[in-house]
Amino acid sequence: MSAQAKHTVTGGEVTSPPTVEVWDVFVRLFHWSLVATFAIAFVSADEWEKLHNWAGYAALGLVSTRLVWGLIGTRHARFSSFVRAPAATLAYLRDMMRGSEKRYLGHNPAGALMILALLAGIAGLGLTGWMMTLDAYWQDEWLEEVHEALANGMLVLIALHIAGVVIASIRHGENLMRAMITGHKAVDR
């Protein structure tokens, strides 16, 4: 399918397909705030310890609030609306490899798995970062190595996430990055 939006010509006017808000303000602010806090923590890791720590705590706080919002938030923000069984996720990934995956208005099963992995990764980073400030773990090398491995693992997940967004945007003819800014997606594609 083309990456161009489908438009209808009526009486010489071009109309866009109807849209609906999928990503609420909280989800969008959470997403871009998490991007910012992770980026700040990552680039400040070696030189600016205080900034690094505060960015990490902010990211951990964001994840905590997202977990709550995943239980009580709006329809597409709730985990119950997008977390699928492993078999459904594997079937979606198989269909994706064949180029025949279904379009979802909210998160697709691969996106849902990525969300859970990213949330777990940030939580792990925050927890190990906090543990390194405790006397019991002060300068324990194994903990620093775990923290660094988690940070590098997050880079891999972020790259996969971006690749998935680009692939889904092209395959379904919609700009998913714009949707995470505006909150809106076309109802039908």
Could you report the per-residue pLDDT of 92-137, keeping only the tens digit for each?
999 989 988 888 888 999 999 999 999 999 999 999 998 888 787 6
Q: Which of 161, 76, 77, 86 has its CA nearest to residue 117?
A: 161
Say what the pTM is. 0.83
Q: Yes or no: say if 32 and 102 are a contact pair by the CB < 8 Å rule.
A: no
Work out the number of other CB atoms within 10 angstroms of the CB of residue 151: 19
Q: 154-171: per-residue pLDDT in tens?
A: 999 999 999 999 998 998
Tokens read off for 116: 């859970």
The label of the residue with tokens 């909280």 reads 26
Q: How far apart are CA 55 and CA 135, in angstroms?
A: 21
